[in-house]
Amino acid sequence: MRIDKFLWSIRFYKTRSIAAEEIKKNRVSIGTSAVKSSKEVKEGDIIKIRKNQIDYKIKVIQIPKSRIGAKLVSLHIQDVTDKEQYELLKLRKMSQDYYRNKGEGRPTKKDRRDMDDYVGNDIDADFTDWDDFFGETGDESESED
């Protein structure tokens, strides 16, 4: 099976075209050599993939006939990625949370309403004399003369 189709079928990439693009950018290799999309994958091959700034290594156990479900992936590949790579990923995720915690930022509509209820309105809701509010008087006809 072609390597782009294999990576798509084991759900490493969402589409086959994305897998082909990543292969073209030399982010996928078998052994120590970079490969083309048409490279055939065999059982026992170790594939190195650079994704999300992490170097993944997977060993091919079995070649699937077509795209498989997520629960069946472990029957076809074995993850042999170094533990240090996963620790790097964990550190990167923690450092992103440092700058902006989840839920912070621009308030939602509900948050704004809660703040308005807490602060309260200075103007009564029943206020209907808009002329007095805006400082207008009823003497507009005299000023035109």
Nearest residue to 5 via CA among 55, 70, 66: 66
pLDDT reported for residue 14: 92
What structural domains and CATH numbers belong to the chain?
3-86 (3.10.290.10)
Report the mean per-residue pLDDT for the chain: 81
What is each CA distance from 115 to 57, 100, 123, 125, 142, in whole angstroms?
Answer: 50, 21, 16, 17, 45
pLDDT in tens, 10-44: 998 999 999 999 999 999 999 888 899 888 999 99
Residue 111, amino acid: D
pTM flag (> 0.75)? no
pLDDT reported for residue 124: 54
pLDDT reported for residue 85: 85
Tell me: pLDDT of 101 over 70.
no
- By the 10 Å C-beta count (0-12 exposed, 13-18 middle, 19+ buried), 60 is classed as buried
